[in-house]
A and B are shown apart, each in its own frame.
Chain A
């Protein structure tokens, strides 16, 4: 936990430095229309950097009861990755084949792999849910979802 705390603060610090540098290029001074574009983000970044330094010092000096615990509790990684991995795959698939087919594959895969449900139920849910959401969003509320490759070739 302590290592993660320090690491995260360092990451934010680097981000703050990057933002400050970008803002300096935009000019942080006084322009024709008052303060220039970089003014606000620059001082925010300075503030964030100071906060990060304080957090770092606190983390290095103090050890709290939670600081010895690991960031992710033992045995916690596997279930997290099992959720995050397929979800990422679904998003990647969405770019290619559209959200509805990607969701059908994702829900079906997860239900079969983790839940070990019967195929009949897996198929019913994984096809039924995207179908219902297609009717609700694309047809009813006229909010079209990404179609990926199909959209370009079939003009859905």
Chain B
């Protein structure tokens, strides 16, 4: 087995003392970031991206992905103890997690959440280990039209997803793509959309946008709600953990179902949130005691957590194989690859095997380290939320400012961060989704060059997107994804009128 030898090589890299230290540091930082209001995985990775410039790329990606795992774990802590989902995909965890915490079962709920996160992640990692090389090899045959097709599917998958109006989703995506074109044109070298100013010549850095949109915007929302953290105190003792762990094997069917849902949904962009809800719903449907869901049952915690974590891992699959990120956090990591001088995409497996397999192996080690750390130090992490708001908020804004500045060593970027923060607040309020805009901002350059290269190949004929079967399927799929949320309600209206 080729995958095994490669994986062994990866473990040699991931288990070097320096990289284990980096992974542990990343997990701790990530958990802190996941617990803090306003900071999530995407933000934490964005803020710490500049720090990785002085590291070798493999250690850098291990740090960033460990922050990501930590943030996923940290999200569960706030959802269960404080009823505050740190990330959209931990909303479903609050349904049963918080009732359990209120009944004094917080320790059990946390143990179940962490263990199921770990199981979900492990399941998806095994999947990544064996499928990533296959997908990468398959996609080596892709040319510009196929890549544009994949990007179109990525963008249109957001349409009709999670509540936002389809038109607003499209508008947000287009806005992101437009922002990506600001600055130097990669093909002709022309300056574009600078409106004659020097400030816009460098274009918009998506890291700054992520920090502003997710970080500052989220803080403004939290502040307006006037949230106060009055959480349940967790009692985590070793005996309790062991007892909960002994209870878990009887739910093996829920684990398998949720892990499958998570891994499958996670590959598609924005998949973790629907995956967690879907997994919760399906677990309820199949449960022997569905009436207990929502009142604090262990099953209701482990189903969404397993799915969300599995989805979080499998979101990295398209990133390392195709260069298409499956989530905003993966998008920031992809930006990191570009900055470190690596070209994301299928060639990565052949040109940088140490990097790819080091990353995959670090997913195993990172999650083992992660589950141990969070189980041991839950009270310490929960204590962060007991810090008064008047200290937390200026600290978070200060950390965001450092991150925004360090990307390009430019104070203008801190101003952009504030502007993006206000924009992020308005976006959330007016129901424009942020994730597709960030993805569009990251992928904009690649999408544009794929489009222009394809058109050059065909000398201007759009038929090139239907010339190969793969491209045709992808383009038709994306058009269907784009149109169906608009057409479906119309059809239903016609149908209703017809039947009246």
Contacts and interface: CB of A to CB of B under 8 A. Distances in A.
Given A55-B171, A79-B223, A35 B452 contact: yes
Nearest to A104: B398
Nearest to B190: A37
Given A26-B192, A94-B411, A83 B401 contact: no
Contact of A133 (B177, B195, B402): B402
B476 interface: no
A73 B226 CA distance: 11
A33 interface: yes
A22 B430 contact: no
Q: Does more than half of chain A's interface fall in helix, strand or loop, or is it mixed?
A: helix
A73 B167 CA distance: 25
Contacts of A4: 426, 429-430
A129 to B, nearest CB: 6
Interface stretch (B70-78, B301-309, B386-394): B386-394
Nearest to A48: B174
Given A41-B178, A90-B397, A145-B406, A115 B390 contact: yes
A46 to B, nearest CB: 9
A135 interface: no
A141 B406 CA distance: 11
Interface stretch (B49-57, B333-341, B348-356): B49-57
Contacts of A143: 50-51, 53-54, 406
Interface string A41-79: 100110110011011001000000000000111011001
Contacts of B426: 4, 8
Contact of B188 (A36, A45, A76): A36
A137 to B, nearest CB: 7
A54 B390 contact: no
29 contacts: A1-B430, A4-B426, A4-B429, A5-B430, A30-B460, A35-B452, A37-B187, A40-B177, A40-B181, A44-B177, A47-B170, A48-B171, A51-B167, A51-B171, A58-B165, A72-B429, A80-B223, A84-B418, A87-B418, A88-B418, A94-B411, A99-B402, A106-B394, A107-B398, A111-B394, A117-B391, A137-B406, A144-B409, A146-B405
